[in-house]
């Protein structure tokens, strides 16, 4: 079933407008996996309209952090600039799709008159890949935060070991006890130790 | 009593987001029992979509954008309510030095009236056409914006066809100055601080403040979904009242320094405070080497009933949407456009002596034209003759 659909899709020209290289690659890969072979990625925003006219996409996918989105909006209006009118989303009644897209941080514009069934899988792919990217970014932020926290605990331990002549285990136990008593996070207590030490230098 | 949930309002970093920033930061929102959270956005399309899907309860909106949503022009049809105007003016048309120098050679000077300047521009445009040089490119910020209509009105009234004689493009405000510096565009119409930024870096000259085109013209509004307005009447009333009071605080010259510093923060506009102060104090440097020029009523946050949502504003914007073929005139549109603006909600929230008792007024333009909202049909018909 899905194979049949894939065979009918490759003629669709898809343009990805995204300044985030990683995210654009994730989406491009997703679209290729789904059988879309004519995918172009535009990262350079210079002279955007001109380049879109040259590429002549049937579907444009753009990240919503991109201020150039308003440049695309004008294409609803100016048939003089683009050969075919472009509209946002396929079906004007499709608010669920819009909500899902805006939640994921992605917008898409399609050539007017393109059938909903033909575009839906592009939009679905865009939404799921953007979500995946967001999750990746959150995990990365969390990992970075965890690393920062671990570093600060290490520094606090070092200070205690040096200034109070403690073993590493004792220094760690002291930090943990303070955190429990004060109902604070270990990294917060460690941060206070580091700050205090820098004041007493 | 208001419900206690947070009210989320989106805005675009421009000088006229001032009343929102002040409502959140100077206690006007909390005084009304509001927990106001502001979210800075990067595009007008995002503002519209996030209001439509309910991420934002309300937003700093381009006035014509709210009307376009109500009518379902260019996007989904979602009825909007506009209970407050975020102020008057604040826009200008800035021309690149290349264009400005060519106009100076035609004998115009800084601060000339829009007619004189526009006619000089027409001569420059015609000379380029005769010399078979490429057309000028002018930018504005969104198809459904006062900037688009004011720029088009000025050009057309001075004999320049905005669709035939020049090229009009959309460029987001923060990218305009660079685009002008790089020679991609020859002029733009935008809100402050971007005109003053262009002057300060030597990219262009401020030719026409748009309040000189349309006297006491409106700019942004507070817009929300009609459905939200109906579901949260108390919260909306509190928000309108908070913004009304904030706008008065914004207009008081004693607060301009503090306001410029607040807006200069990256979480609001993120432009230099001294440049933001130009627009706030109605004293602009029109050319880089020039003196500060006093432009009365250039940006009016509160006085002249600046926050009242005049239905005549909405109808004029609609007339321009028809004029420039963004929408085909339909008699059923008129009632929808009128219903988008909500002077009734404004009056419910604001009980002050200066609140107008009528909903429409006659609007006046630099070329002597008057827009009588009761005579909309004659006005629309007059475009056909030109």
DSSP code string of chain A: -HHHHHHH-TT--EEEE-S-HHHHHHHHHHHHHTT---EEEE---TTHHHHHHHH--SEEEEETT-TTHHHHHGGGT-TTTSSS-EEESS-TT-HHHHHHHHHHTEEEEEETT--HHHHHHHHHHHHHHHHHHHHHHHHHHHHHHHHHHHHHHHHHHHHHHHHH---HHHHHHHHHHHHHHHT--HHHHHHHHHHHHHHT-
**Cα angle: B312, vertex B366, B384; to 5 degrees:** 70
CATH (domain of A108)? 3.40.190.80
Q: Is A67–B76 a contact, with Cβ atoms under 8 angstroms apart? A: no
How is residue B136 annotated by DSSP? P
pLDDT digits (tens, 9 = 90+) for B72-101: 887 788 999 999 999 999 999 999 999 999
Residue B235's CB is within 10 A of a number of other CB atoms, namely 23
| Together in a domain, B96 and B83 | no
**Residue A52 pLDDT level (bands cut at 50, 70, 90):** confident
CA torsion sign, B24 to B27 to B28 to B29? positive
Residue B37 has pLDDT above 70, yes or no: yes
For residue B164, the chain A residues in CB contact (below 8 A) are none
Whether B349 and B316 map to the same domain: the answer is yes
Cα of B324 to nearest chain A Cα, Å: 10
| Distance between first and last Cα of chain A | 71
Q: Which of residues 173-212 of B touch A (CB under 8 A)?
A: 174-175, 184
Is the model's pLDDT at A91 over the cut of 80? no
Using CB atoms, which residue from B55, B163, B169 is nearest to A74? B169
A193: domain CATH number? 1.10.10.10
Q: Which of B342, B334, B328 is nearest to B373 (CA)?
A: B334
Cβ separation of A107 and B49 shorter than 8 Å?
yes
Distance CA A106, CA A20 (A): 12
B142/A73 CB distance under 8 A: yes
Mean pLDDT comparison of A11-20, A116-125, B165-174, highest-scoring range: B165-174
Cβ atoms of residues B175 and B223 within 8 Å: no
For residues A98 and A89, is the Cβ–Cβ distance under 8 A?
yes
Minimal CA separation from A88 to chain B, in Å: 7
* Residue A43 near residue A73 (C-beta atoms within 8 A): no
At A4 the pLDDT is 43
How many structural domains are present in chain B? 2
Pairing of strands B292-294, B137-140: unpaired
Q: What is the pLDDT of residues B265-282, one digit of tens each?
A: 999 999 999 999 999 999
Q: Considering only residues 32 to 71 of chain A, which have any Cβ-Cβ distance to chain B shorter than 8 Å?
A: 47, 49, 64-71
Domain CATH for B195: 3.40.190.10
Alpha carbon separation from A47 to A14, A50, A81, B162 (Å, rounded): 19, 6, 12, 20
* Phi then psi dihedrals of residue B139, to 5 deg: -115, 150
R_g of chain B, CA atoms, integer Å: 20
Same domain, A169 and A133: no
Q: Which residues in B lie closer than 8 A to residue A74 (C-beta atoms)? A: 142-143, 169-170
Does A164 lie in the same domain as A135?
no
B55 near A CB under 8 A: yes
- For B143, the closest chain A residue by CA position comes to A74
Q: What are the phi and psi torsion angles at B205 (to 5°)?
A: -125, 140
Q: Which of A8-22, A114-128, A176-190 has the highest mean pLDDT?
A: A176-190
Residues of chain A found within 8 Å of residue B169, distances taken between Cβ atoms: 49, 71, 74, 81
Among the three residues A139, A159, A174, which one is the final residue of a domain in this structure? A139
Q: Give residue A34's pLDDT band: very low, low, confident or very high (50, 70, 90).
A: confident
Region A118-134: what's the mean pLDDT? 83
Does A190 have pLDDT greater than 70? yes
Please give the mean pLDDT across all residues of chain B: 94
User: How is residue B153 written in tokens?
Assistant: 């009105």
User: How sure is the predictor about A2, in pLDDT bands with cuts at 50, 70 and 90?
Assistant: very low
What whole-number distance in Å separates Cα of residue B238 and Cα of residue B7?
A: 11
What mean pLDDT comes out for the span B36-41? 97
- Spatial distance between the Cα atoms of B375 and B363, rounded to a whole number of angstroms: 12
Domain shared by B78 and B102, yes or no: no
Q: Give the model's pLDDT for residue B382.
A: 80
Same domain, A32 and A96: yes
Shared-domain flag, residues A119 and A161:
no
Q: Are residues A47 and A116 in the same domain?
A: yes
Nearest Cα of chain B lies from the Cα of A42 at a distance, in angstroms, of 17
> Would residue B249 count as lying in a domain?
yes
CB contact A165 to B (< 8 Å):
no
The angle formed by the CA atoms of residues B37, B40 and B43, to the nearest 5 degrees, is 140
**Does A154 share its domain with A78?**
no
Quick one: A133 and A157 in the same domain? no
Do B77 and A92 make contact, defined as CB atoms within 8 angstroms?
Answer: yes
Same domain, yes or no: A131 and A170: no
In this structure, the answer to whether residues A52 and A113 fall within a common structural domain is yes
Q: Which domain holds residue B10?
A: 6-87+219-269+301-365
Average pLDDT, rounded, for chain A: 81
CA distance A177 to B96: 66
Least CB-CB distance to B141: which of A49, A70, A107?
Answer: A70
Question: pLDDT digit string (tens) for B298-354?
Answer: 999 999 999 999 999 999 999 999 999 889 999 999 999 999 999 999 999 998 878
Q: Cβ B326–A71 below 8 Å, yes or no? A: no
Instruction: Please report the number of interchain residue pairs, chain A to chain B, with beta-carbon separation below 8 angstroms.
Output: 75
Check CB contact under 8 Å for A92 and B171. no
Q: What is the mean pLDDT of residues B10-22?
A: 97
Q: Are residues B144 and B131 in the same domain?
A: yes
Residue B317 resides in a domain: yes
pLDDT category of residue A80 using cuts at 50, 70 and 90: very low
Question: Which helix (DSSP H) or strand (DSSP E) does residue B147 occupy?
Answer: helix B146-157
CA dihedral B72, A74, B139, B282 (to 10 degrees): 30
Distance from CA of A11 to the nearest CA of B (A): 26
In a domain, B18, yes or no: yes
**Are the C-beta atoms of B129 and B122 separated by less than 8 Å?**
no
Q: Are residues B139 and B82 in the same domain?
A: no
Answer whether residue B287 is part of any domain.
Answer: no
Is B135 near chain A, with CB under 8 Å?
A: no
Final residue of a structural domain among A105, A139, A173: A139
Q: Is the pLDDT of residue A75 over 80?
A: no
Cβ-contact B190, B151 below 8 angstroms:
no
Using alpha carbons, select from B198, B193, B126 the residue that is nearest to residue B185: B198
Asked if the structure places residue B74 within a domain, the reply is yes
Residues B158, B108 share a domain: yes
Same domain, B229 and B192: no
pLDDT greater than 70 at residue B248: yes
Domains identified in chain A, total number: 2
A67 and A6: one domain?
yes
In chain B, at which residue ranges do the beta strands (DSSP E only) sit? 6-11, 35-40, 58-62, 80-85, 88-89, 91-96, 137-140, 167-170, 187-191, 204-209, 220-225, 283-285, 292-294, 299-300, 363-364, 370-371
How many CB atoms lie under 10 A from the CB of residue B121? 30
Is the pLDDT at A67 greater than 90, yes or no?
no
- Are residues B50 and B100 part of one domain? no
* Residue of B13, B39, B46 to mutate, interface with A, max A Cβ within 10 Å: B46
What is the rounded CA–CA span in Å between residue A107 and residue A25? 17
Cβ-based contacts of B14 with chain A (< 8 Å)? none
Look at B43 and A69 and tell me if their CB atoms are within 8 Å. yes
Which residues of chain A make contact with B172, given a CB cutoff of 8 A? 67-68, 70-71
Report pTM: 0.87
- Is pLDDT at B158 greater than 60 in this prediction? yes
Q: Which residues contact B299 (CB under 8 A, 6 or more apart)?
A: B15, B16, B87, B88, B89, B90, B192, B279, B280, B282
Shared-domain flag, residues A97 and A39 = yes
- Are residues A41 and A108 located together in one domain of the fold? yes
**Per-residue pLDDT tens digits for B106-126:** 999 998 999 999 999 999 999
Does residue B28 belong to any structural domain of this protein?
Answer: yes
Query: Could you tell me if B259 and B180 lie in one domain?
Result: no
Percentages helix, strand, coil for chain B, rounded to the nearest 5? Answer: 45, 20, 35
Q: Which of B318, B338, B304, B325 is nearest to B384 (CA)?
A: B325
Q: Are residues B236 and B339 in the same domain?
A: yes
Query: B223 with B359, same domain?
Result: yes
C-beta atoms of B75 and A88 within 8 A: yes
Is a pLDDT exceeding 50 seen at residue B137?
yes
Which residue in chain B is spatially nearest to A63 when comparing CA positions? B46
Range of the domain at A150: 142-199
Q: Would residue B95 count as lying in a domain?
A: yes
A30 touches chain B (CB under 8 A): no
Contacts of A100 in chain B (CB under 8 A): none
**How confident is the model over B171-197, as a mean pLDDT?**
94
Query: Which residue, A123, A139, A155, sits at the end of a domain?
Result: A139
What is the least distance, in Å, from the CA of A59 to any CA of chain B?
16
Residues B149 and B41 in one domain: no
Q: Quote the pLDDT of residue A113.
A: 67
Closest to B68 measured CA to CA, from B89, B87, B85, B52: B52
A92 and chain B in contact, CB less than 8 A: yes
């Amino acid at each position: 079933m899905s194979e049949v659909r894939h065979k009918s899709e490759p003629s669709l020209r898809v343009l990805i407008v995204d300044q985030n290289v990683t995210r654009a690659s994730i989406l491009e890969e997703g679209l290729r996996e789904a059988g879309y072979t004519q995918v172009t990625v535009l990262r350079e925003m210079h002279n955007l309209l001109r380049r879109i006219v040259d590429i002549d996409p049937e579907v444009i996918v753009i990240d919503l952090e991109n201020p150039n989105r308003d440049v695309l909006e004008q294409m609803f209006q100016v048939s003089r600039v683009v050969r075919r009118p472009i509209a946002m989303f396929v079906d004007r009644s499709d608010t669920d799709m819009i909500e899902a897209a805006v939640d994921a941080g992605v917008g898409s514009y399609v050539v007017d008159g393109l059938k909903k069934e033909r575009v839906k899988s592009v939009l679905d792919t865009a939404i799921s890949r953007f979500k995946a990217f967001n999750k990746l970014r959150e995990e990365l932020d969390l990992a970075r935060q965890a690393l920062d926290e671990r570093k600060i605990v290490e520094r606090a331990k070092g200070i205690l070991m040096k200034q109070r002549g403690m073993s590493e285990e004792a220094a760690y136990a002291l930090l943990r006890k303070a955190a429990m008593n004060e109902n604070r996070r270990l990294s917060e207590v460690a941060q206070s130790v580091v700050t205090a030490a820098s004041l007493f230098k | 009593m208001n419900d206690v949930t947070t009210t989320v309002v989106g805005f675009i970093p421009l000088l006229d987001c001032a009343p929102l920033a002040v409502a959140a930061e100077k206690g006007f929102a909390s005084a009304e029992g509001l927990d106001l959270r502001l979210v800075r956005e990067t595009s007008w399309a995002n503002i519209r979509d996030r209001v439509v899907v309910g991420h934002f309860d309300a937003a700093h909106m381009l006035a014509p954008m709210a009307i376009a949503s109500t009518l379902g022009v260019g996007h989904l049809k979602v009825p909007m309510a506009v209970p407050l105007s975020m102020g008057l003016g604040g826009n200008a048309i800035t021309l690149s030095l290349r264009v400005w120098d060519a106009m100076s050679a035609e004998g115009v000077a800084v601060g000339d009236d829009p007619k004189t300047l526009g006619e000089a521009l027409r001569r420059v445009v015609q000379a380029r056409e005769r010399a078979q040089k490429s057309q000028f490119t002018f930018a504005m910020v969104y198809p459904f914006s006062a900037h688009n209509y004011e720029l088009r009105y000025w050009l057309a009234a001075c004999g320049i066809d905005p669709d035939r004689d020049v090229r009009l493009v959309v460029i987001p405000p923060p990218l305009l100055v660079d685009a002008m510096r790089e020679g991609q565009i020859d002029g733009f119409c935008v809100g402050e601080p971007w005109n003053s930024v262009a002057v300060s870096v030597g990219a262009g000259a401020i030719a026409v403040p748009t309040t000189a085109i349309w006297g006491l013209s409106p700019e942004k509004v507070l817009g929300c979904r009609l459905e939200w307005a109906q579901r949260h009447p108390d919260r909306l009333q509190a928000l309108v009242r908070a913004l009304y009071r904030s706008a008065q605080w914004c207009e008081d010259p004693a607060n301009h320094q503090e306001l410029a510093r607040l807006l200069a923060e990256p979480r609001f506009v993120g432009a230099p405070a001294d440049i933001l102060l130009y627009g706030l104090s109605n004293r602009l440097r029109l050319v880089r080497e020039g003196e500060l020029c006093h432009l009365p009523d250039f940006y009016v946050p509160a006085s002249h009933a600046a926050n009242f949502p005049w239905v005549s504003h909405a109808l004029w914007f609609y007339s321009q949407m028809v004029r420039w073929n963004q929408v085909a005139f339909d008699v059923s549109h008129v009632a929808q456009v009128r219903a988008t603006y909500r002077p009734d909600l404004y009056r419910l929230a604001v009980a002050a002596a200066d609140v107008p008792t009528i909903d429409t007024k006659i609007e006046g333009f630099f070329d002597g034209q008057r827009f009588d909202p009761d005579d909309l049909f004659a006005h629309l018909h007059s475009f056909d003759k030109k």
